[in-house]
Amino acid sequence: GMGRSRQKQLLERLALSRMDRRRQEKLLEWLALVGLGRSRQEKLLEPLALDGQEQAGSHPRTHRVLSMDATLAPRDPRAPGQFGHPVAVPDDKQEEAKSRWKEGNFNVYLSDLIPVDRAIADTRPAGCSEQQVHNDLPTTSIIMCFVDEVWSTLLRSVHSVLGRSPPHLVQEIILVDDCSTKEHLKEQLDAYMSRFPKVKILRLRERHGLIRARLAGAEVATGRTGAVLGPVRTTEVLGTPLQHGVRPSQCTKGKKRSWLWLGSSGEPRRAVAQSAAPRAQRELLSRAGLEADAPTCAAGAVLTFLDSHVECNVGWLEPLLERVRMSRNKVACPVIEVISDKDMSYMTVDNFQRGIFTWPMNFGWRQIPQEVIEKNKIKETDIIRCPVMAGGLFSIEKKYFSELGMYDPGLDVWGGENMELSFKVWMCGGEIEIVPCSRVGHIFRNDNPYSFPKDRVRTVERNLARVAEVWLDEYKELFYGHAYHLLLSAVDVGDLSPQTQLRERLRCRNFRWYLQNVYPDLEAPLVKASGLLMNVALAGCIAVEGTTLAFRECDANNTNQKFNYTWLRLVRHGELCLAPAGALGAVGLHRCRARSRSLAWLHRSLATVQPGLTEHLISEHQHLPRPACLEVDPSRRALRVKGCDPRNPRQKWRFSSYHAD
Ligand code: LR7
Ligand code: MN
């Protein structure tokens, strides 16, 4: 601990800063807790004290970012993996390491070997540790959802938050157990975490998936429960509306619940197994000297979401909160660095990466082009605005998150929620940012180590289809065009009206605005090809004449010869679509319908149907022999559908312009 006089001395120094008293005290508590040496204590507080002395004029109410790192002087500097170095599996442990891989789809053996509070290299770009943040940053609830997470990895995630966050900024750490089945995540986890007053564990009684688990965590942080998971279940989940120090620890359907009561400074007061009524529980609390609305109960203004296999780096939190403080509709993401799944080394990543997506809504990273960096003199520490976020790691103002309707609760288990939130934020007046001075490592894995309640691929696709239906407007055709099987399988996306109503209520902008202003480098032509539809060999074009089709001399000024080839594979002329008239090979015009195999034509994109058919228009009509191609009949006046022939020039078609392949 820390002597009384020493504490007084430090408090005096802190008093110079404009940080409020409660925060000062919390900071000291932390200093005592992590046992930093005297000189490092001084160093840590230096920016705060300096601020009070020097900056009355220029930058009032700010201090240099506290580069707190309780792990910098590690207990065991020679332990494997220390400082984020790679670790090798000893020869005689190869088999063991191999067999344990599947527990988490990464090198679980090595993870267990390295300290849960290992040090890692400070990978921040130069200048980050000198940056100023405000003294009155909002505090945050940190929400970490997990299902069957590996023990050592989960612990390392929590330790990295505890050890590298200014304690006065961490309201609480909410671990949401999405109904894990592994034994170590039950009593053993309760017991371990009872040492850390800020850690709360929320157990979900059934598997809800990442998305709704986060919503449940957000509700706990708000002190509100039941809106997302339903009132009946919530009482079972939380047991009681009282949050302070109360940790229900039951996931299964059993009636008996065990509670762990924590004192106001966090020490475990008593562990009781009981199924007390809320009133009795409240009584228990008050006897333990606690109140339902004790200070630690007061909700932090910001929610910070993290995956359960991360390592937060030095100074990661303040820059995120600084952005949110600056504007409540900024959503701040750290740079996500890489913890190797193979050797557990902590690796930095290239700077200047934006979060982007490609069709059909696949998340990815894209480097800002070098010439753009140079022309705009972009620095490594500059904020990067992102079309979309990766999904797992971000800070968002709690009330703003709630105003945005949080996540669409109709999204299931995993996937697509990052797209939904990103579109919603940008289109409804907010911003998604990557904050280069905030860095968090994440174990990237090749596969999810847990099972999906339903089929994995279908779950993600359905989520994405929901997002497309609500947010993409006419551009949803691009999504379906790149995931065409979704269109025909008529996937049931569920009720969308709450989401579309939300979009109206928030008066959000449209997707075209988003593309033009947020993600202008996305290729998003609304149709794949357009203009005349000509047969080059015969020098003629398809023309609409009343309600029928003819083959005529090409005339670029004749609107009756203009067609669009759409993402949904329609050859479209206004509301009318080119289509085989039936099994006999005649071709005509039909009212267009989006989800229709009989109106769809393959062109260029799917040469796989038969090699050499790239210039053909292949009908997908079910009742025709396959593949069947549009051709000019021998009279050279009419059109029909016949078996495809790569060498038949009467079957080769070209639009005047192609916008995408
Ligand atoms: O049913 C589940 N219940 C859960 O609680 C499934 C998962 N989870 C937990 C899980 O234990 C983990 O802590 O949710 C967290 C995220 O699941 P991961 O780690 O399997 O996801 P991921 O890292 O492969 O995927 C990324 O995309 C997801 C899409 O839904 C989420 O948004 C993840 O948070 C996100 N991760 C990141 O953004 C980190 C960087 C990866 C990238 C790109
Ligand atoms: Mn992850």
Between 272-276, 397-401, 593-597, the lowest mean confidence (pLDDT) is in: 272-276
Q: Report which bound ligand comes closest to the CA of 452.
A: 1
At residue 592's C-alpha, the angle toward residues 591 and 597, to 5°, is 120
Give a three-class secondary structure readout of 333-354: EEEEEEECCCCCCEECCCCCEE
Please check the confidence at residue 64 and state whether its pLDDT lies above 90.
no
For residue 427, pLDDT over 90 is answered with yes
User: Which percentage of the chain shows pLDDT scores above 90?
Assistant: 66
Res 41: pLDDT: 78
The pLDDT value given to residue 7: 80
Of 153, 307, 432, which is best to mutate to test ligand 1, by the most ligand atoms within 8 angstroms of its C-beta?
Answer: 307
Triad 323, 325, 328: Cα angle to 5°: 90
Give the position, in ligand 1's atom list, of the atom nearest the Cα of 208. 1
Q: Quick one: which of 1, 11, 22, 23 has its CA closest to 318?
A: 23
Confidence of residue 141 (pLDDT cuts 50, 70, 90): very high
Please tell me the predicted confidence (pLDDT) of residue 235.
Answer: 29
Q: What is the pLDDT of residues 156-169, one digit of tens each?
A: 999 999 999 998 89
pLDDT for residue 459: 95
pLDDT tier at 297, thresholds 50, 70, 90: very low
* Ligand nearest to the Cα of 105, by number: 1
pLDDT of residue 6: 82
Q: What is the pLDDT of residue 255?
A: 30
The confidence score (pLDDT) of residue 279 equals 53
pLDDT surpasses 90 at 148:
yes
Mean of the per-residue pLDDT values of the chain = 85
pLDDT of residue 72: 78
How does pLDDT run across 38-61, given as a tens digit for each residue? Answer: 777 777 777 776 555 444 444 457
Better-scored residue on pLDDT, 277 or 325? 325
- Please state the rounded mean pLDDT for residues 202-221: 92
Which range has the worst mean pLDDT, 85-94, 257-266, 363-372, 446-455? 257-266
Percentage of the chain lying above the pLDDT 70 cut: 84
For residue 304, pLDDT beyond 70: yes
pLDDT at 509 over 70: yes
For residue 341 and ligand 1, the question of a CB distance below 6 A is answered with no
- In 3-state terms the chain splits into helix, strand, coil percentages (rounded to 5) of 35, 25, 45
**Mean pLDDT, residues 487-496:** 89
Task: Find tokens 């103002």 and name the residue.
Answer: 397
Give Rg (Cα) of the chain.
Answer: 30
> pLDDT-derived band of residue 226, with 50, 70 and 90 as boundaries?
low
Confidence band for 232, pLDDT divided at 50, 70 and 90: very low
Look at residue 240 and tell me whether its pLDDT is greater than 60: no
Kindly indicate the confidence band of residue 488, based on its pLDDT and cuts at 50, 70 and 90: confident
Which residues, at least 6 apart from 199, have a Cβ–Cβ distance to it below 8 Å? Answer: 158, 172, 173, 175, 193
Sequence-distant (≥ 6) Cβ neighbours of residue 467 within 8 angstroms: 361, 408, 411, 416, 419, 420, 423
pLDDT grade for 237, boundaries at 50, 70 and 90: very low
| Over residues 619-644, mean pLDDT | 91
Q: Which amino acid would we find at residue 658?
A: Y
How many Å lie between the centroid of ligand 1 and the Cα of residue 617?
42
Which of 256 and 478 is assigned the larger pLDDT? 478
According to the model, what pLDDT value does residue 464 have? 98
Our answer on whether the CB atom of 172 is closer than 6 Å to any ligand 1 atom is no
Q: What is the mean pLDDT of residues 84-100?
A: 97
For ligand 1, mutation pick of 182, 210, 303 (most atoms within 8 Å of CB): 210
Q: Could you tell me the distance, in angstroms and rounded to a whole number, from the CA of residue 463 to the centre of ligand 1? A: 14
Confidence class for position 264, pLDDT limits 50, 70, 90: very low
pLDDT tens readout for residues 332-389 = 999 999 999 999 999 999 999 999 999 999 999 999 999 999 999 999 999 999 999 9
Q: What is the pLDDT of residue 262?
A: 34
Q: Which of 126-140, 181-195, 263-277, 548-562 has the lowest mean pLDDT?
A: 263-277
Q: How far is CA 250 from the centre of its chain?
A: 28
| 420 touches ligand 1 (CB under 6 Å) | no
Nearest to 169 by CA among 240, 51, 63, 268: 63
Q: Is the interface score ipTM higher than 0.95?
A: yes
Say if residue 640's pLDDT is above 70.
Answer: yes
